[in-house]
Amino acid sequence: MAKRDTYTPDTLLAVAVEVFNQRGYDGTSMEHLSQAAGISKSSIYHHVKGKEELLRRAISRALDGLFAVLEEPAATQGPAIERLEHVTRRVVEVLIAELPYVTLLLRVRGNTATERWAMERRREFDHRVAELLRSAVAEGDLRADVDVRLATRLLFGMVNSIAEWYRPERRTSLSSAEVADGVVHTAFSGLRR
Amino acid sequence: MAKRDTYTPDTLLAVAVEVFNQRGYDGTSMEHLSQAAGISKSSIYHHVKGKEELLRRAISRALDGLFAVLEEPAATQGPAIERLEHVTRRVVEVLIAELPYVTLLLRVRGNTATERWAMERRREFDHRVAELLRSAVAEGDLRADVDVRLATRLLFGMVNSIAEWYRPERRTSLSSAEVADGVVHTAFSGLRR
C-alpha cells in the first residue's frame, strides 16, 4: 500500500512504457497498467486521462531527446559531414539513454491520432537527417554513387536495430559511446581497413 | 468455386505468409487463412496439417535461400573479405527475391517449437557471418577497432531493415542489385568519399 504514494507521473510513465513494449500499445488495457504498477485504475486516472496520454508523453520524451540533438551547436555549425557524424553519434546515445521510450517510438504503427502524430514526427526527423546527407554529398564529402534516400534508410536501419538487441543490464554490454563509435565508423568510414 | 482447384501448396503458402505478416502468426486463425484464400478450412487441411506447418514451410523457404548463399563458390573460396562482401550482397538479393518469406522469418518471436527452431537457425546463420567477419579481421582486411559482434549486428541491422521499407511494387523502387550495392558500399567502404 505504501507503494501507492510513491508514484509520480514519471515513474508511472516508466511502468507504462515497459508494458507497452511488452504487450504492444493496442494489446495493453488500463487493467494491465494497473496490475503492473500495483495501483488501482482510479489512481492512474488521477495522474492521466488514459493510456493514450501515457503513450503521448512517452513518445514526446523520445522525440524531444532526438530533436534536441539537431539543435546542438555541433549539429548546426560546420561542414555537413561533421554535423551528420555528430548527429549520428548523438542519436545512438539518446537511443541508448532513453531506450524504452525510443523503442516504443520505433514500434508505433499508427491506429490512433497519437500514433499517427508520432509517425509524422519520426518522418520529419528522418527528413532532417536526409537533408544533412544531401548537403554532405553537395559539399563533396559523401560518395555520390549511393542514393541519398537509400543511404538514409540504411543508416537508420543500423541505428534503429540497436533498440532490438542492446541490453544495458548485461555486464558484457558495450558502452553507449562504444556503440556510437561503431556506428559512425561503419557507416562513414566503412568496415574495410 | 473454380478458384478452389487452382490452389497448389505453393500458392496456398503465398497467401498464408501474407496473412501472417499482416496479422502476426499468433493473431492468425485457420478461419483467417480460409477467408484470405477463398477456400474452406477443410480444403486447407487437405494440403497441410495446420497453420504451424504453413509457418514451417514458409520459414524453410527463407532459410534455404539464405543458407544456400553460404555454399556458393564465391562464399567459400578466396579472402574472407571477398567472401563476406559476396555473402552480404547475395543475402540482400535473397531478402528482396523472397521478401514476404524473409520478413516472416525476421518477425518470428518464438512461442511454438517451429518459431524456436526458426530463431535457432537464424542465430546459426548470424554466427556463420560473424565467423567470416572474424576471419576478415584476422586476415587484416577489416578494421580491428570495431567489435566483431557489434559489426555483425550493425550489418544485419542494415540488411534486415530492408524488409521494413522495400516495396518492389513501387515504380520508383531501386533494383535488388542497386540496394545490394548500397549496402556493400556503406558497410565496407563507408559513405565518406
Q: Which CATH architecture has domain B2-51?
A: Orthogonal Bundle (1.10)
What's the rounded Cα separation, in Å, for the pair A48 and A54? 7
Query: Which CATH superfamily hosts domain A58-189?
Result: Tetracycline Repressor, domain 2 (1.10.357.10)
The torsion defined by the Cα of B100, B106, B111 and B117, in degrees rounded to 10, comes to 100
B106-138 pLDDT, tens digit per residue, is: 999 878 999 999 999 999 999 999 999 999 999
Whole-number Å distance between alpha carbons of A9 and A11: 6
| pLDDT tens sequence across A73-130 | 999 999 999 999 999 999 999 999 999 999 999 999 878 999 999 999 999 999 999 9
Q: What is the pLDDT of residue A191?
A: 79
Residues of A near B (Cβ–Cβ under 8 Å) read: 81, 133, 140-147, 150-151, 153-162, 164-165, 174, 178-179, 181-183, 185-193
* Per-residue cell: A169: 543490464
> What are the sequence ranges of the domains in chain B?
2-51, 58-189
Instruction: Name the pTM for this structure.
Output: 0.90
Contact criterion met (CB < 8 Å) for A161 and B162: no
DSSP code of residue A79: -
Q: Which of B150, B154, B193 sits opposite A143 (nearest CB)?
A: B193
Residue by residue, pLDDT tens for chain B (193 residues) are 445 557 777 889 999 999 999 998 988 999 999 999 999 999 999 889 999 999 999 999 999 999 999 999 999 999 999 999 999 999 999 999 999 999 999 999 878 999 999 999 999 999 999 999 999 999 999 988 889 999 999 999 999 999 999 998 887 789 999 999 999 999 999 888 6
* Facing B154 at nearest CB: one of A143, A151, A182: A182
Q: What span, in angstroms and rounded, lies between the C-alpha atoms of A70 and A128?
A: 8
> What ipTM does this complex have?
0.89
Mutate to test the interface with B, among A23, A95, A146, A154 (most CBs of B within 10 A): A154
In this structure, what C-alpha cell is assigned to residue B94? 535473397
